[in-house]
Amino acid sequence: MATKILVTDDISQAGLDILSGLEGAEVVVRTNLTPDELKEAIADADALVVRSQTRVTRDVIDSANKLKVIGRAGVGVDNIDLEAATRRGILVINAPDGNTIAAAEHTFAMMISLARHIPAAHRDLLEGNWNRKKWVGVELRGKTLAVLGMGRIGTEVAKRAKAFGMTVLGYDPFLTEERAQSLGVKRCDLDTAIREADFITVHTPLTKETHHMIDAGRIAQMKEGVRLVNCARGGIIDEMALAEALQAGRVAGAAIDVFEQEPLPIDHPLRRCPNVVLTPHLGASTVEAQENVAIQVAEEIVHVLRDDTFEHAVNLPSLSQRQKERLAPYLALAEQLGLFAAQLAQGAPSSMTVRYAGDASDPDGGYLTRTVLKGFFSFQYDGEVNYVNAFRYAEDAGLRVQEVRESRGRIYTNEIEISVATDNGTHRVTGTVLGEYGPRIVELDGYPIDTPIQGILIYTRHEDRPGMIGRIGTLLGDRDINIAGMQVGRRETGGEAVMLLSVDKSVPQDVIDEIAKHPGIRLVRAIEL
Ligand X SMILES: NC(=O)C1=CN([C@@H]2O[C@H](COP(=O)(O)OP(=O)(O)OC[C@H]3O[C@@H](n4cnc5c(N)ncnc54)[C@H](O)[C@@H]3O)[C@@H](O)[C@H]2O)C=CC1
Q: How far is CA 80 from CA 8, 15, 58, 125, 300, in A?
A: 13, 20, 8, 42, 17
305 φ, ψ (degrees, to nearest 5): -70, -25
DSSP 398: T
Alpha helices in 216-268 (DSSP H): 216-221, 239-248
Residue 345 touches ligand X, criterion: CB under 6 A: no
State how far the Cα of 70 lies from the Cα of 72, in Å rounded to an integer: 7
361 binds, among ligand AKG, ligand X, none (CB under 5 to 8 A by kind): none
| Residue of the chain from 45, 61, 92, 103 that contacts ligand X (CB under 6 A) | 103
Interactions with ligand AKG, residue window 75-94 (CB under 6 A): 75-76
Residue nearest to ligand X according to CB distances in the complex: 151
To ligand AKG, the closest distance from the beta carbon of 418 in angstroms equals 40
Residue 231 touches ligand X, criterion: CB under 6 A: yes
| Residue of the chain from 12, 99, 107, 430 that contacts ligand AKG (CB under 6 A) | 99
Q: Judged by CB under 6 A, how many residues of this single chain contact ligand X?
A: 32
262 is catalytic: yes
Residue 52 touches ligand AKG, criterion: CB under 6 A: yes
State how far the Cα of 262 lies from the Cα of 239, in Å rounded to an integer: 13
- Torsion sign across C-alpha atoms 499, 504, 506, 508: negative
HSE-CB of 397 using CA atoms within 13 angstroms = 23
Closer by beta carbon to ligand AKG, 94 or else 487:
94
Residue 253 touches ligand AKG, criterion: CB under 6 A: no
330 binds, among ligand X, ligand AKG, none (CB under 5 to 8 A by kind): none
To ligand X, the closest distance from the beta carbon of 226 in angstroms equals 18
To ligand X, the closest distance from the beta carbon of 308 in angstroms equals 25
Q: Tell me, residue by residue from 169 to 208, as one string, x for binding to ligand X by CB under 6 A and - for no binding.
A: --xxxx----------------------------xxx-x-
Q: Tell me, residue by residue from 122 to 161, as one string, x for binding to ligand X by CB under 6 A and - for no binding.
A: --------------------------xxxxxxx-------
Interactions with ligand X, residue window 67-96 (CB under 6 A): 74-76, 96
Three-state SS string over 47-100 comes to EEEECCCCCECHHHHHCCCCCCEEEECCCCCCCECHHHHHHCCCEEEECCCCCH
To ligand X, the closest distance from the beta carbon of 371 in angstroms equals 28
Contact stretch for ligand AKG (CB under 6 A) within 74-82, 339-347, 421-429, 492-500 = 74-82
Active-site entry in 203, 233, 392, 427? 233
To ligand X, the closest distance from the beta carbon of 174 in angstroms equals 4
409 φ, ψ (degrees, to nearest 5): -70, 155
152 binds, among ligand X, ligand AKG, none (CB under 5 to 8 A by kind): ligand X
| Residue of the chain from 12, 49, 51, 416 that contacts ligand AKG (CB under 6 A) | 51
Residue 359 touches ligand X, criterion: CB under 6 A: no
Closer by beta carbon to ligand X, 193 or else 327:
193
The neighbouring-strand residues paired with 27 are: 5
User: Are 112 and 131 contacting, i.e. CB atoms less than 8 angstroms apart?
Assistant: no
- Torsion sign across C-alpha atoms 311, 312, 313, 316: positive
The bridge status of strand 447-452 relative to strand 439-444 is antiparallel
DSSP 323: H
To ligand X, the closest distance from the beta carbon of 99 in angstroms equals 5
Active-site entry in 72, 117, 281, 428? 281
To ligand X, the closest distance from the beta carbon of 221 in angstroms equals 16
Axis-axis angle for helices 100-115, 118-126 (nearest 10): 60
| Residue of the chain from 15, 71, 74, 409 that contacts ligand AKG (CB under 6 A) | 74
Closer by beta carbon to ligand X, 100 or else 386:
100
User: Are 94 and 52 contacting, i.e. CB atoms less than 8 angstroms apart?
Assistant: no
To ligand AKG, the closest distance from the beta carbon of 280 in angstroms equals 10
Q: Tell me, residue by residue from 256 to 295, as one string, x for binding to ligand X by CB under 6 A and - for no binding.
A: -xx----------------------x-xx-----------
Residue 71 touches ligand AKG, criterion: CB under 6 A: no
Interactions with ligand X, residue window 365-424 (CB under 6 A): none
State how far the Cα of 235 lies from the Cα of 437, in Å rounded to an integer: 57
The bridge status of strand 349-358 relative to strand 414-422 is antiparallel
The DSSP H or E segment spanning 37 is helix 35-42
The one-letter amino acid code at 281 reads H
User: Are 474 and 425 contacting, i.e. CB atoms less than 8 angstroms apart?
Assistant: no
Q: How far is CA 491 from CA 410, 417, 444, 464, 497, in A?
A: 17, 19, 12, 10, 7
Interactions with ligand AKG, residue window 280-299 (CB under 6 A): 281, 283-285
To ligand AKG, the closest distance from the beta carbon of 286 in angstroms equals 10
51 binds, among ligand X, ligand AKG, none (CB under 5 to 8 A by kind): ligand AKG
HSE-CB of 165 using CA atoms within 13 angstroms = 4
Give Cα 368 distance to the centre of its chain: 16
Give Cα 265 distance to the centre of its chain: 32
The one-letter amino acid code at 389 reads N
State how far the Cα of 63 lies from the Cα of 423, in Å rounded to an integer: 36
**Which positions lie near ligand AKG, rule CB under 6 A?**
51-52, 74-76, 99, 281, 283-285
Catalytic residues, which ones? 233, 262, 281
**Which positions lie near ligand X, rule CB under 6 A?**
74-76, 96, 99-100, 103, 148-154, 171-174, 203-205, 207, 209-210, 231-233, 257-258, 281, 283-284
